[in-house]
Amino acid sequence: MDVKFAPVMANAADFPEAIIRATPGFGFSDVGLLWQKLQLGQCTYTRNGRAAIAIAAQQLQYPNQTNTVLLPAYHCPALVEPFLWLGYRVRFYPVQADLSVDAAVFQRLLTADVSHCVVVQFFGFKQNANQLITLAHAAGKRVLEDCAHGLVDFVASLQQDDPRVSARICSINKVLPTIDGGLLYLRQRQSTQPGHCSWLEELKGIAFLLKIPQRLQRLRQRTKTRKPDRISTPEPTPGFKYFRPADLNSASFRHTKWILQCSDLAAIKTKRRANYHYLVTGLAGVAAGTCLYPVIADEAPYVLPFLLRDGSHFQQLRLKKIQVLRWEEMAPSGCDITEQYRSRLIQLPCHHKLTRADLDYIIQAMAGLTEL
């Protein structure tokens, strides 16, 4: 199918700089000499999660035949673009209100011409991913599991081989205070690995992590609209907003690996869960909407998904300097839930570096939302 993504509904440049960010900021306590000796098995470090998806899709692609991939209707373009670049045909399966998938509908879509299937664990929660994996594997499809939001559980899952899954990916920088990083698990590990950038680029990356260029930019105060200096990145490929083929050849920064190996993932999971539960309790009486998952299992949440009654409240929260996120650029798929969630399902920060004061500020801002 010809895939065209919906336009952005709200531009980040139109809002003030956030004081409560969606992901944790770096501090020197995030690195040290004590490595956690994480058992990453045959994982490959990649530049980012979408590069991991692209490498997996490339390695799993059937040569000299049409490859068709089944993707969730609720998605970010970064999930879809690598498959389009590789020439896959793309189809979407609908999601239900809690982002789980109707198993009977899903099974009917596993037609003979579908060769691959992507199962996503949204926001770090499993939904009914295991059921979908079983169905796709039984139908002879190559399964890629997208755990981009679930670094902690992704690492834990490496201890148990799952023959149903051909590849798994996750993003490091969605959970840890890094500026890049993805992990790719392939059952059949590729022979060549992405290379590291130059040491000059590594130093630039460290400087950006420490916000040195950003602080210098504020001091220079050349113009109000000038953006901070950034580390060099390849130009986007024409026709793609997020995907850059050059990322496939580049591993994450060396210091990203260091931060990951120095991170106590068990403690991070405990803190994220505590923050999540605190927010759920504080938001229980808020009139603006409801938490999508008021009760969670043993997952480490990436964010708290909250379903607004009025999508315009998103702008009010951004104006209060809270970096809430929202997936707006989904491709049309005929899924009613997806169309509703473009404007109404927001992602509230709950990361492990938020203080009690931060969480209270989020709760107060949510309680103060008014109809426009």
Select from 52, 175, 43 the least CA-distant residue to 118.
Answer: 52
- Please tell me the predicted confidence (pLDDT) of residue 233: 57
Q: Classify residue 27: in a domain, yes or no.
A: no
Element (H, E) at 56: helix 49-60
With 0-12 / 13-18 / 19 or more C-beta atoms within 10 angstroms meaning exposed / middle / buried, residue 310 is: middle
| Pair 115, 69: CB distance under 8 Å | yes
Helices 49-60 and 77-85: crossing angle in degrees, nearest 10, is: 40
Spatial neighbors of 167 by CB under 8 A, at least 6 apart, are 56, 59, 60, 143, 144, 145, 184, 185, 186, 187
Q: Classify residue 251: in a domain, yes or no.
A: no
Q: Classify residue 127: in a domain, yes or no.
A: no
Select from 211, 242, 256 the least CA-distant residue to 229.
Answer: 211
Q: Classify residue 181: in a domain, yes or no.
A: no
Number of domains observed in the structure of the chain: 1
Distance CA 153, CA 167 (A): 15
- Please tell me the predicted confidence (pLDDT) of residue 231: 55
Distance CA 95, CA 92 (A): 10
Q: Which two tokens stand for residue 349?
A: 């920060």
Spatial neighbors of 58 by CB under 8 A, at least 6 apart, are 86, 248
Adjacency order of strands within the sheet including 68-72:
44-46, 182-186, 167-171, 142-146, 116-120, 68-72, 89-93
Q: Classify residue 300: in a domain, yes or no.
A: yes
Select from 97, 96, 159, 78 the least CA-distant residue to 132.
Answer: 96
Distance CA 288, CA 61 (A): 45
Element (H, E) at 314: helix 313-319
Distance CA 82, CA 150 (A): 20
Strand partners, 12: none
| Pair 21, 362: CB distance under 8 Å | no
- Other CB atoms within 10 A of residue 271 CB: 17
Q: What is the CATH number of the domain that holds 345?
A: 3.90.1150.10
End-to-end Cα separation, the chain, in angstroms: 38
Q: Residue 296 belongs to what domain range?
A: 265-367
pLDDT by residue for the chain (372 residues), tens only, comes to 578 999 999 888 899 999 999 999 998 888 866 666 777 878 999 999 999 999 999 999 999 999 999 999 999 999 999 999 999 999 999 999 999 999 999 999 999 999 999 999 999 999 999 999 999 999 999 999 999 999 999 998 888 889 999 999 999 999 999 999 999 999 887 767 899 999 999 999 999 899 888 777 767 655 555 454 455 556 667 789 999 999 999 999 999 999 999 999 999 999 999 999 999 999 998 999 999 999 999 999 999 999 999 999 999 999 999 999 999 999 999 999 999 999 999 999 999 999 999 999 999 999 999 765
Q: Classify residue 56: in a domain, yes or no.
A: no
Which whole-number Å values give the CA distances from 65 to 60, 68, 113, in the listed order?
12, 10, 11
pTM of the model: 0.92
Spatial neighbors of 249 by CB under 8 A, at least 6 apart, are 194, 195
Q: Classify residue 280: in a domain, yes or no.
A: yes
Taking the CA atoms of 222, 228, 231 and 232 in sequence, report the sign of the dihedral they define. Answer: negative
